[in-house]
Amino acid sequence: MSGAGAATPWTGRVDGATDEHLRWHQVVEAFSESAEVGACVFIGFASDEGVRRNKGRPGAAAGPGALRGALASMALPTPLRAYDAGDIEVTDGKLEAGQGALATAVCAALDAGHFPIVLGGGHEVAFGTYLGLARSARRTTETRLGILNLDAHFDLRADPVPSSGTPFRQIAEREQAQGSAWQYSVIGISQPSNTAALFDTARRLGVRYLLDDDCGTGTLASVLDFVDDFLASVDQVYLTIDLDVLPAAVAPGVSAPAAYGVPLETIQAITDRIADSGKLAVCDVAELNPSLDIDNRTARTAARLLHRIATRRMVG
């Protein structure tokens, strides 16, 4: 895992050491080349450089530590193997180098047969996560990649300098240059937070999306139909969760809190569907800013989602 700093041991509550008492911190080990195939591998991406470039509120670089802290004491339904590959830290504004290091770490984890979960960091994490999958042996010319973004924003900005607002435009340009088969879909788009130009870009690129207005619990069946159509059209899934998709009351600790947002019940149902599909290759979570959080509310919510994704995908 080149470029990642050494993992700090996880700590938390201990009720016992037998299988029925296990919590995450009791099973997570430092990643090594001898890691058991098929395990979950956490990779931190400590960056808010993309948020800074996008004129947002910095602080997401502390997200990986807060996510680990919130996840550590969650109880496991059954024993599983998990590893921590440490953090890739973006310093001195060197975002592109950090994304390259993340890509190397994600690619190595995938090629070794693991399930990588990337802990962001601003949503600039997405381009690094994607590059890792794109460069791995898991992605072949016959594989149709599906990217599902749970987000209030398209992140398709045409800015010349990459930021947290540009990763999916960067991905689109790379996929088009490669002539690859892929699909980018977004659930939770906030109309007031995206200009008409961004909607035009989305239409031009064939992006499928649902507005936050159409993602309430009363319309859950139609949201899951959207997810099922997405899954049916792709072979392999990269799931990326921008926490600003959630209502501000649920996720206050983000750069751009949602005035409306998608209910947690809906987001959880979506992630359950993806985790159960058998197609999920890699997942990341973005935009947790602990300095803006209230009672660790955002961190705990994100950790619960990651807990469910990991345990459902790995245990079934």
Q: Determine if residue 284 is labeled as part of a ligand binding site.
A: no
250-276 mean pLDDT: 97
83-110 mean pLDDT: 97
14-37 mean pLDDT: 94
Find all residues with CB under 8 Å of 66, minimum gap 6, and list them.
Answer: 288, 290, 293, 296, 299
117-134 mean pLDDT: 98
Which tokens sit at 229? Answer: 């159509």
Residue 3: predicted pLDDT:
59
Residue 89: predicted pLDDT:
97
Instruction: Write the pLDDT tens digit of every residue in 193-202.
Output: 999 999 999 9
Residue type, 2: S
Cα 27 versus chain centre, distance:
22
- Comparing C-alpha atoms, which of 59, 64, 66, 72 is closest to residue 46? 64
CB 315 within 8 A of CB 279: no
23-29 mean pLDDT: 97
Dist. CA 32–CA 185, nearest whole Å:
34
128-145 mean pLDDT: 95
Q: Determine if residue 159 is labeled as part of a ligand binding site.
A: no
Q: Determine if residue 114 is labeled as part of a ligand binding site.
A: no
pLDDT at 2 over 50: no
Q: Determine if residue 228 is labeled as part of a ligand binding site.
A: no
Instruction: Write the pLDDT tens digit of every residue in 44-86.
Output: 999 999 999 999 999 999 999 999 999 999 999 999 999 999 9
Q: Determine if residue 153 is labeled as part of a ligand binding site.
A: yes
pLDDT band at residue 1 under the 50/70/90 scheme = very low
92-108 mean pLDDT: 97
Q: Which residue has the higher pLDDT, 268 or 2?
A: 268
Q: What percent of the chain has pLDDT over 90?
A: 94
28-54 mean pLDDT: 95
pLDDT band at residue 316 under the 50/70/90 scheme = low
CB 77 within 8 A of CB 312: no
Instruction: Write the pLDDT tens digit of every residue in 163-220.
Output: 999 999 999 999 999 999 999 999 999 999 999 999 999 999 999 999 999 999 999 9
CB 216 within 8 A of CB 247: no
Q: What percent of the chain has pLDDT over 70?
A: 99
Q: Determine if residue 242 is labeled as part of a ligand binding site.
A: yes
pLDDT band at residue 7 under the 50/70/90 scheme = confident
Dist. CA 126–CA 170, nearest whole Å:
10
